[in-house]
Structure 1
């Protein structure tokens, strides 16, 4: 499978850029209207939420693939998927939410 893209980390990086814009605007009043800074922050928050939903859907699709493999009799493939991509995705999601890696 292709390498996992960490959409949440990317969204947080973009959100940090919005914060830098706000800080720059505060140092040089008039460079960015406060309402525009709020729009940027809200848009970044929306993006982060959407990307988190995408990651949840990705995990659901992996579990669906696991079930298809298991029900078709490919138990070895199902176990490999569970012990690889599914476990990694769940652990990454838990770590993104402040969970501890085991």
Structure 2
């Protein structure tokens, strides 16, 4: 991406951070976590979620879920914070993993 813009990697990261509020790596981790937690909420097994979403293994998923929420992958799906996605984005089906 930096090469396509004609920028150095350092400049891209600095501009990204100033505009978004986090580094590209942090944003990538947050998006991957979001995808994973919604799959966990609808009952998918942590091992399959880890493989499908791009974690290196189930332990990697566990570490990121714990870092973001303080919970385990098996308990994070029961948390009410998942319900705000539908409200925030105006999805017709407001259940985790529902149509978007």
Q: Same fold (TM over 0.5)?
A: no
| Bin of the TM-score, shorter chain as denominator length | 0.3 to 0.5
TM-score normalised by structure 2 residue count: 0.33
TM-score normalised by structure 1 residue count: 0.33
Whichever of the two has the greater Rg, that structure is 1
Q: Please state which structure has a larger fraction of its residues in helix.
A: 1
Higher RCO, Cα 8 Å, sep 6+: 1
